[in-house]
Amino acid sequence: MSEDSNKDKQQVEELTSDDCSSDEDLFDPSLAEELEQCAFFTDSFYDHILPRTTQILLEYDSGRWVPRLREPRDLYGLSSAGHLHLVRWPHQYEVVRQKIEHIDWIPSEPEPLYIPTGLETEPLCPDPGEGAVVYLADEANKDSSFMYSRIGGSFPSKQVLPQSWEDWDNTLIFEARFESGNLQKVVKISDFEYQLTLRTDLYTNKHTQWYYFQVTNTQAGMPYRFTIVNFTKPTSLYNRGMRPLLYSEAEAKIHKVGWQRTGDAIKYYKNNLSQDGRQYFSLTWTFQFPHDRDTCYFAHCYPYTYSNLQDYLSTIARDPKRSKFCKIRILCQSLARNIVYVLTITNPLQDFKEEKRKAAVILTARVHPGETNSSWMMKGFLDYILGDSNNAQLLRNTFVFKVVPMLNPDGVIVGNYRCSLAGRDLNRNYRSDLKESFPSVWYTRTMIKRIMEERNVLLYCDLHGHSRKENVFMYGCEKREQQEEGASLHHRIFPFIMSKNCPDKFSFPDCSFKIQKGKEGTGRVVMWKLGISNSYTLEVTFCGSKLGNSYTHFNTKDLESIGYRFCESLLEFCDENKNKYDECLKELEEMVKQENSADPVNDTLDKDSSSDTSDSNESPVKLESQNEAKKPEDSSQRMSKNQEQLIKNAQVFQKLKLIELQKIQKTKYEISKSSIEPFPRTPSANKVWWSP
């Protein structure tokens, strides 16, 4: 080995070492000292997988010294002090030394969707060389694959300002090199118009959906236009009224206002860019900043970062009450050596036999890092199950909950939309034995297998976000012969109960229980094949619901409420009084009879647009499939024959009051779905049952 090679190896070892002095206190000078106070331990379900310390003790017995091993002390876990691990990034990834924080805020009224007028403009992408580049992130994909990580990433290079622009004081300043940020390039087209390019998922050449970036040097009241030019999906919820999110630090400081919807003249359309046979699509919108010289943020959905999760877990660990029935352990380390946490939630019982008879319920989230709405659902679930209510107590007395709140921390940290640092969709690799490439899903599957050896697993659910469809719905699993005969509807009952408990958000007709060939590596299908009959994917839209508060967006409170309804539905599903369960089964049987040969669920979107769908599955990302079926032209490219009527309808909708819209949609829903009556809000029984 050459001298240069030895130096390179030494540099790599220094950069990846946890003891490297450069890794300390990049964000908090006191953190290194606090970490020394941490006590680490593993989870009993898989403590044989993770390392433990062993020390030899000498005991004096019968006149001689007898060596024995000290009781092993687990190395991994979270102490009651609540100190967590520093965030690790790919070694070459530039990161600004700034901690981004946002306040929690819920608007007093639901935020309406944008109603297209049909008159929105479609800006063309300028030729190369036109305009001025005002932001250009270092090419994060310069390495073909992930190499190694370091705490805090690499120090950011200074942005080179365009010398040709004399009015730089009137130019917006962009930044996205922070946790979960995504923005690759910005070109200034004119005084108030900017063209933006998103970064693809690291070590891939695709997946541009998630964006989250900072803008400073703002001017209030000016008519700005942003156009993101490199989306790849032919359809989008932005053409159904979804608006981008805006956060103003001045608004947060002065008026305590957080994330809010913004944008007019919103249009998602096929643009004039293409590369290697791939057509690109643009999202354009106009807006005004609320304050001069403000710091603002734009995002596709409400951000929920890895640090947000760690802060949340830290509050649990420091809570003397909740920490007794919620044990935070470490499932594994990711490729970048970030921690994948697992929570065990249950009330310990005095009777050991009763404790062993508890069934397990398993929830996971954020296998796709850009689906931040799944983390808000997960937060709602955890808030409920860790609460003091009688229902929460009953659930903890009855079940052992295993929760993996963030399966893909690396992807979340770097701002990916779909993939891990392996450049692959983890939700296509639950069958894989490549533990080193896909550690989080490998250890999750291994953990579940071991749980199944010890106790019954009642239900598995993986939380996701959906980019092309409204409402909340679920995907389940059933055999083809069951679909044809309408037999064994028991696995449809839990989603059906969800639709009753959440009638303004959850749509049972949008659920699907078919298994596509391309879905066999997903979590829900793999767990179903392991023997968990109630294995689901819970999908929530990025936009809003066509039920209840129609024509409005979901906010974080709405997303959290879905987690609450999940817990309530679990109680209904397992109530000792099986009347409601039997009622649901009869209703489902009647629905199948009525629809007869018609497909009782909408599977068109399940085939090509669910969050389960990905082209980053079994093959390396560089070997992109060339036989992708041609998709129909975006409806926005075709002028409707009833265009004038659509514009008139839009104008009418804009004048209607929110309460009128709600009444209209609620009436339509009740008429069309009269067979799905919501459960009354009654206290739960003292006991619940579950079937083995």
Q: Give me the DSSP letters along 142-177.
A: GSSS---EEET-BPPPPPPPPTT-TTGGGS-EEE--
Give the pLDDT confidence of 327-337 residue by residue, as tens digits: 999 999 999 99
Residue 632 DSSP code: P
Provide the pLDDT for residue 354.
Answer: 85
| Element housing 67 (H / E) | strand 64-69
Position with higher pLDDT, 587 vs 487: 587
Element (H, E) at 474: strand 472-475
Instruction: Report residue 624's pLDDT band, with 50, 70 and 90 as the boundaries.
Output: very low
- In the predicted structure, residue 629 carries a pLDDT above the cut 60: no
Closest CA to 587 of 512, 471, 505, 679: 679
Mean pLDDT of all residues in 91-104: 93
* 3-state SS record for 495-524: HHHHHHHCCCCECHHHCECCCCHHHCCCHH
Q: What is the mean pLDDT of the chain?
A: 81
Q: Do the bridges between strand 457-466 and strand 535-541 make them parallel or antiparallel, or are there none, so unpaired?
A: parallel
Average pLDDT rounded to a whole number, residues 190-215 = 95
- Going by C-alpha positions, the residue among 548, 383, 375, 364 that lies closest to residue 465 is 375
Closest CA to 371 of 424, 277, 301, 324: 301
| pLDDT at position 671 over 80 | no
User: Are 472 and 506 within 8 A, CB to CB?
Assistant: yes
- Block residue for tokens 């046979």: 277
What is the reported pLDDT for 517? 82
Amino acid at 225: R
Question: CA 328, CA 314: separation in Å to the nearest integer?
Answer: 9
Structure tokens at 112: 């309406």
The stretch 633-654 carries a mean pLDDT of 44
Catalytically active residues, by annotation: 539
| Residue 572 pLDDT level (bands cut at 50, 70, 90) | very high
Query: Which of these ranges, 264-268, 364-368, 622-626, 682-686, has the smallest mean pLDDT?
Result: 622-626
Lowest mean pLDDT among 32-41, 448-457, 642-651: 32-41
In this structure, the number of other CB atoms found within 10 A of the CB of residue 23 comes to: 18
- In the chain, what is the greatest distance between 2 CA atoms, to the nearest angstrom? 102
The reported pLDDT for the residue numbered 635 is 40
H helical segments located in 373-438: 373-385, 390-398, 409-414
pLDDT at 210 over 50: yes
CA dihedral 610, 612, 614, 619 (to 10 degrees): -160
Local structure of residue 37 (DSSP, 8 states) = T
What is the pLDDT averaged over residues 61-87? 63
Least confident of 253-267, 371-385, 467-481, 498-512: 467-481
Q: 630: which 2 tokens?
A: 């041609």
Question: Which of these, 625, 626, 624, 621, lies nearest to 144 by C-alpha position?
Answer: 621
| 355 phi, psi to nearest 5 deg | -60, -40
Provide, rounded to the nearest whole percent, the portion of the chain with pLDDT above 90. 60
**DSSP state string for 525-538:** HHHHHHT-SSEEEE
Give the pLDDT score at 640: 44
Average pLDDT estimate for 24-50? 37
The yes-or-no verdict on residue 485 having pLDDT over 60 is: no
Q: Is the pLDDT of residue 685 over 50?
A: no
Residue 314 has pLDDT above 70, yes or no: yes
pLDDT at 161 over 50: yes
What pLDDT was estimated at residue 36?
Answer: 34
For residue 39, give both structure tokens: 């006590």
Domain 309-617 -> CATH class = alpha beta
pLDDT band at 595 (very low <50, low <70, confident <90, very high): confident
* Cα gap 86→409, rounded to integer Å: 12
One-letter amino acid of 91 = H
Q: Between residues 300 and 691, which one has the greater pLDDT?
A: 300
C-alpha–C-alpha distance, residues 190 and 167, integer Å:
11
Nearest-CA neighbor of 521 among 454, 462, 447, 600? Answer: 462
In this predicted structure, what is the pLDDT of residue 275? 85
First vs last Cα of the chain: how many Å apart? 60
Taken in order 303, 306, 307, 308, the sign of the CA dihedral is: positive
Question: Do residues 547 and 471 touch, judged by C-beta distance below 8 A?
Answer: yes
List pLDDT tens digits, range 440-475. Answer: 999 999 999 999 999 999 999 999 999 999 999 999
Confidence of residue 550 (pLDDT cuts 50, 70, 90): confident
Residue 157's pLDDT band (boundaries 50, 70, 90)?
A: confident
3-state SS class at 356: helix
Reported as type and span, the H/E element at residue 401 is: strand 399-404
CA 107/CA 286 separation, integer angstroms: 21
Domain ranges of the chain: 28-76, 309-617
Query: Would you call 462 helix, strand, or coil by DSSP?
Result: strand
